[in-house]
Amino acid sequence: MTDTILELDGVVKEFAGFRAVGGPQGLSFSLRRGGFLGLIGPNGAGKSTTFNLISGVMPPTAGRVTFDGTDISRLSTAETAALGLGRTFQTPRAFASLSVLDNVMAGLAHPAEGPLAALLGRWKPAEAELTGRAEAALERVGLIARRHDSVANLSGGELRMLEVARQLVRAPRLLLLDEPTAGVDPTLQGKLSEILAGLHAAGTTLVVVEHNLGFLMSLADSVVVLQNGALLAEGAPADIRRDPAVIAAYLGADHDA
Ligand SMILES: Nc1ncnc2c1ncn2[C@@H]1O[C@H](COP(=O)(O)OP(=O)(O)OP(=O)(O)O)[C@@H](O)[C@H]1O
């Protein structure tokens, strides 16, 4: 088992000839097991597309994504999830007709143990145990009192926390979070910060895309900066804050670090 859990090697994504990710060289960076990477860059820099390439929403045009030694470049989202990869989306997704609790339970319908284990009957926890796990996740994100509500009654920030709860029950080894603080009120942001620090301390590898740099820089132990789909800078948060190229391209522009 190597220390590297995620590696992008010369990754390129083109949409109708437009290179959204990759720049001239292709995008390459790696992440150590248990690391907490902040992925930042101006609007349109390619952050969400990079998440899509890692999680299997779409394949790269060229290059390779390796997760824990396995080439996942051509795998589907279900296959990457079965390997232990979790993600949330920039626009939160939920089953509109289900309750808050049932949305979290639905996350357990794709166990990290994989479909084969389910087929063989090796993964059959009791309903009560599943409910207990889902309720514990809702407690952690501050939504336990809302468990029987329809998700239609949740605010945008609460929907984001629900997405986090859906990942917590699955306990992925690598968790990608796309703008988790967007629309989340300061109280829930504090809770989110505690949850992410707790996951990090417990050994989960995290990659977080975030425009709230104050939030991200206090949690991440390394940062990758993208600009026009290419790697602009990579390093410790304190060094990134001081990097003149980053300040010129991003931090100094319209964001308060
Ligand atoms: N499905 C698609 N088809 C065509 N172009 C796309 C598609 N997805 C993304 N793009 C383009 O790729 C570029 C990178 O987009 P992406 O959403 O990855 O950036 P981002 O860094 O996540 O931006 P933001 O911070 O605004 O969310 C943008 O120019 C975008 O318009």
Q: Where are the domains of the chain?
A: 4-254
**pLDDT band, residue 35 (cuts 50/70/90):** very high
Mean pLDDT of 199-216: 95
As a whole number of angstroms, the distance between CA 246 and CA 227 comes to: 9
Please answer whether residues 90 and 55 qualify as being in contact, where contact means their C-beta atoms are separated by less than 8 angstroms.
Answer: no
Atom of ligand 1 nearest to the CA of 211: 25
Contact of 95 with 103, CB cutoff 8 Å: yes
- 203 Cβ below 6 A of ligand 1: no
Report residue 112: phi and psi, to 5°: -60, -20
Mean pLDDT of 181-192: 92
> What pTM was computed for the model?
0.89
Burial of 67 (0-12, 13-18, 19+ CB in 10 A): buried
Is the distance from the beta carbon of residue 132 to the nearest atom of ligand 1 less than 6 Å? no
Confidence check on the interface: ipTM exceeds 0.95, yes or no: yes
| Residue with CA at minimum distance from ligand 1 atom 8 | 49
* Contact yes or no for 101/135 (Cβ under 8 A): yes
109 — pLDDT class (breaks 50, 70, 90): low
CA of 203 to the centre of ligand 1 (A): 30
Specify the CATH superfamily of domain 4-254. P-loop containing nucleotide triphosphate hydrolases (3.40.50.300)
Q: Residue 17: CB within 6 Å of ligand 1?
A: no
Question: What is the model's pLDDT at position 60?
Answer: 98
Q: How far apart are CA 57 and CA 39, in angstroms?
A: 18
